[in-house]
Structure 1
Amino acid sequence: MTRTVEEHRDAVLRLLKSGLAAPERSETLQLAAAAGRVLAADVHAPGSLPPFDNSQMDGYAVRTADLGSAPGNAVPLRVSEPIAAGIAAPALAPGAAAPIMTGAMLPAGADAVVPIERAVPNAFFPDRDRPGATVSFPAGAAAGDFIRTAGSDIRAGALALPAGTRLGALQLGLLAALGIPAVPVRARFRVLLLSTGDEVVEPGQELAPGQIHDANSTLLAVSLQEAGAEVVRTRILADSPERFLAQLREDLARHRVDLVLTSGGISMGAYEVVRLALAAEGVQFLPVAMQPGGPQAIGSLDGVPFLGFPGNPVSSVVSFEVFLRPALGTLTGSPAPRPELPALLTGQASSPAAKHQVRRGRYTAPAEPGTAGRVELIGGPSSHLVHALASSNALVHIPAGVQTLPAGTEVTVWLLN
């Protein structure tokens, strides 16, 4: 029975979720190494930010009671020792004003900062600002003026970042400001990526008649790595299902992985070694109403989830984008979903009525806000057009039930970069 795209996407999610049923693995990394990773546990602030009351401006720390409230009066105060950032501030005596720099600790007794622009004189001068000199201020400063209070950003014990947060520069900057040097992150999802088929050879090797270079391993390995997965890559050249299965089990005994992923060997041909080797192990080989990427394989081997993608390069990439990448994002927090946008076709298109077609396209953002962008289809629907794939920046989705799309039809696109 043919599955819909949605049904198979749900099945892939359930499969991978079952493989992660054990307590979530994590590792602790220094902040710089944790960039792009996902938090494995809540992080609470070990202290407050700011950790002490400090000045928001270059100016003078004052007691507002010393300035009075009558407007228009210039109030002279004695200049006390200056307070630079990074030192412990001495207490402020009544009737005094302390020159204070931005970020410096507010002295005990002070309850406001008067910006230097409001002082007379309105600049710092070493000879005038020596202790014992005087400086004048307008009356009427309010308590709390130009003070960053302790904990006004975050208080000690508050939740700084919840588990599942993807760590970028902004989040890591917060952790650094809190004095946290390392954090627990989710272990990378590990994938055993198999390349199969006697007709494919590694790039750089000479081609014999009837052979092609292996594009799928590179396409899928890089796609997985960009999605935050750790890839264990191997090559199986097996002339029999029995040998294929034996080699696969040897790899599983050698590597602890969360998923086995293959490309090729799953269709209905006479020499489809993956299907012949794994059908008896309970792996399902079934059609999905999608073009390209119709043939799919799903199941498990020795308790390890297994997915099989078609052998044509575009079919493999589309299968990854539609089925595997969204599941990884849902279960591990990485990667983020592809940006999904409406766009208008620049030309006409056609699609099989019974299939969800995924075309490659070049998306152009709208010139004016509030309008839809435009997308030009690149290449045809065939699954071997690797050059067209490399020239694209979007996947164009044409849902099942739609056959003809005139130019100007609105479609949904997923941005690839």
Structure 2
Amino acid sequence: MLSTGSEIRGLGTELANGECHDANAAMIVADLTRCGADVHLEPAVADDVDACRAALARCADAADVIVTTGGISAGTEEVVRLALADQGVDFVSVAVRPGKPQACGRFGGTPIVCLPGNPVSALISYELFVRPVVVAALRNPQAERTMRTVRAQGQTPPASAIPRVMLGVVDGDDATIIRSHSVGALAHANCLIVIPPSDGGLGPPDEYPAWMLDSVASTL
């Protein structure tokens, strides 16, 4: 696991203006461990291509699959894009919000999945594209997320042609959709609510599928 970004600092580090703690590594490593994986956590790297390549090489030596966060948007200075430019990694835009930019391929022969840097986008991308593969590979059915159908209370999102996965709070059969993408909102959520695409003709439905985030996982 590798987080990237010159603004990223380790947990417990005093922050200067413009810096933030590495929330992505904390939540993804914690869940991978709960799923039963042995995790190699590489210290976060700044926006330096050579440092990023060196960190990726250490990850490739230690792990069966590499997961990164940050540095994959469409800009010309995105560090993970630059570090993987000669590796044949596919950088794509996925039809889901949040979490549109994604990448996957191999680094030095080791499979790599690259997720966005925003913590909410990183978590949703991890839940969609990484976690199910890890759970299947570890053959740990206890770690599978519980799926439910919930009734949305309050204001629902407007119709959109692109499917969305949003934070939510489930209480019984009812759910409140959290419209914020902040870390604070993430701390309060206990589910991910899937908003299907709509052509706008009928408006959004009242019931949605939800992935519960408090599933009991094995502690191997």
Residue aligning to 1:349: 156
CA contact (8 A) 1:310 1:316 kept: yes
CA contact (8 A) 2:198 2:204 kept: no
Matches for 1:32-71 after TM superposition, within 5 Å: none
Residue aligning to 2:19: 211
CA contact (8 A) 1:351 1:357 kept: no
Runs of 5+ consecutive residues of structure 2 not aligned to the other structure? 215-220
Residue aligning to 1:405: 204
Matches for 1:3-402 after TM superposition, within 5 Å: 193-253=1-61, 255=62, 257-335=63-141, 336-351=143-158, 353-365=160-172, 373-378=173-178, 380=179, 382-383=180-181, 385-401=182-198
Q: 1:250 to 1:214 in 2, by over 3 A?
A: closer
Pairwise CA distance, 1:289? 0.8
For residues 137 and 30 of structure 2, the distance between their equivalents in structure 1, rounded to whole angstroms, comes to 20
Pairwise CA distance, 1:239? 4.5
Which letter maps to 1:376? T
Pairwise CA distance, 1:202? 1.4
Which letter maps to 1:400? P
Pairwise CA distance, 1:341? 1.3
**Number of aligned positions between the proteins:** 211
Q: Which has the larger radius of gyration?
A: 1
Pairwise CA distance, 1:206? 2.2
What is the aligned-residue RMSD (CA, Å)? Answer: 1.9
CA contact (8 A) 2:42 2:55 kept: no
TM, length-normalised to structure 1: 0.48
Runs of 5+ consecutive residues of structure 1 not aligned to the other structure? 1-192, 366-372
SS class of match (2:85): helix
For residues 341 and 250 of structure 1, the distance between their equivalents in structure 2, rounded to whole angstroms, comes to 40
For residues 58 and 175 of structure 2, the distance between their equivalents in structure 1, rounded to whole angstroms, comes to 46
Whichever structure has more helix as a proportion of its residues is: 2
For residues 123 and 190 of structure 2, the distance between their equivalents in structure 1, rounded to whole angstroms, comes to 13
Q: 1:374 to 1:280 in 2, by over 3 A?
A: same
Pairwise CA distance, 1:270? 3.1
Pairwise CA distance, 1:337? 2.3
Pairwise CA distance, 1:196? 1.3
For residues 82 and 190 of structure 2, the distance between their equivalents in structure 1, rounded to whole angstroms, comes to 36
Pairwise CA distance, 1:311? 0.3
Which letter maps to 1:411? Y
Runs of 4+ in structure 1 displaced over 3 angstroms? none
Q: 1:247 to 1:331 in 2, by over 3 A?
A: closer
For residues 48 and 212 of structure 2, the distance between their equivalents in structure 1, rounded to whole angstroms, comes to 40
The structure, 1 or 2, with the larger RCO (C-alpha pairs under 8 Å, 6+ apart) is 2
> For residues 57-94 of structure 1, what are the alpha-carbon distances to aligned partners after superposition, in whole Å with 9 as ceiling and x for unaligned?
xxxxxxxxxxxxxxxxxxxxxxxxxxxxxxxxxxxxxx
Residue aligning to 1:10: none
